Structure 1
Amino acid sequence: MATFKFELVSPENILFSGDVVSVIVPSVEGEMTILAGHVPIVAALKPGIVLAQTGPGNGKEFFVGGGIVEVNQTALTILAEQARFIEDVDNDVLDAEILTAETRLAAAPNEDEQRRLQELLIQLQEFKGMFQERKAA
Structure 2
Amino acid sequence: MVMADFNFELVSPERLLLSESVSAVVIPATEGEMTVMANHAPTMTSLQPGVVTVKFADGKTDRYVVFGGFADILPTGCTLLAESAVHVDEVSRDDILKRVEVARGELEAALNDEHRASIERYIAQLGTVQGTILPA
**Common fold: TM-score over 0.5:** yes
Identical aligned residues as a percent: 36
Q: Which runs of 5+ in 2 are unaligned?
A: none
Aligned-residue Cα RMSD (Å) equals: 1.6
Q: Could you list the per-position Cα deviations for residues 12-60 of structure 1 after superposition, in whole angstroms to 9, with x for gaps in the alignment? A: 1111112111000011211111100001111111111101112233122
Aligned residue in 1 for 2:9: 7
Question: Which of residues 51, 63, 66 in structure 2 aligns to 1:64?
Answer: 66
Aligned residue in 2 for 1:77: 79
Number of corresponding residues: 134
CA distance in 2, matches of 1:6, 1:71: 9
Q: CA deviation at 1:114?
A: 2.3
Question: Which of residues 16, 19, 24 in structure 2 aligns to 1:17?
Answer: 19
Aligned residue in 2 for 1:86: 88
CA distance in 2, matches of 1:75, 1:104: 35
Query: Normalized against structure 1, the TM-score is what?
Result: 0.88
CA distance in 2, matches of 1:81, 1:126: 18
Aligned residue in 1 for 2:98: 96
Runs of 4+ in 1 over 6 A off after TM superposition: none
Aligned residue in 1 for 2:126: 124
Query: Normalized against structure 2, the TM-score is what?
Result: 0.89
Q: Which runs of 5+ in 1 are unaligned?
A: none
Aligned residue in 2 for 1:45: 47
Tell whether the 8 Å contact from 2:64 to 2:85 is kept in structure 1 after alignment.
Answer: yes
Q: Could you list the per-position Cα deviations for residues 77-121 of structure 1 after superposition, in whole angstroms to 9, with x for gaps in the alignment? A: 111111001100121111112112112222233443322212111
What does 1:105-116 align with in structure 2 at a 5 Å threshold?
105-116=107-118
SS in 1 for 2:132: helix
Q: CA deviation at 1:6?
A: 0.7
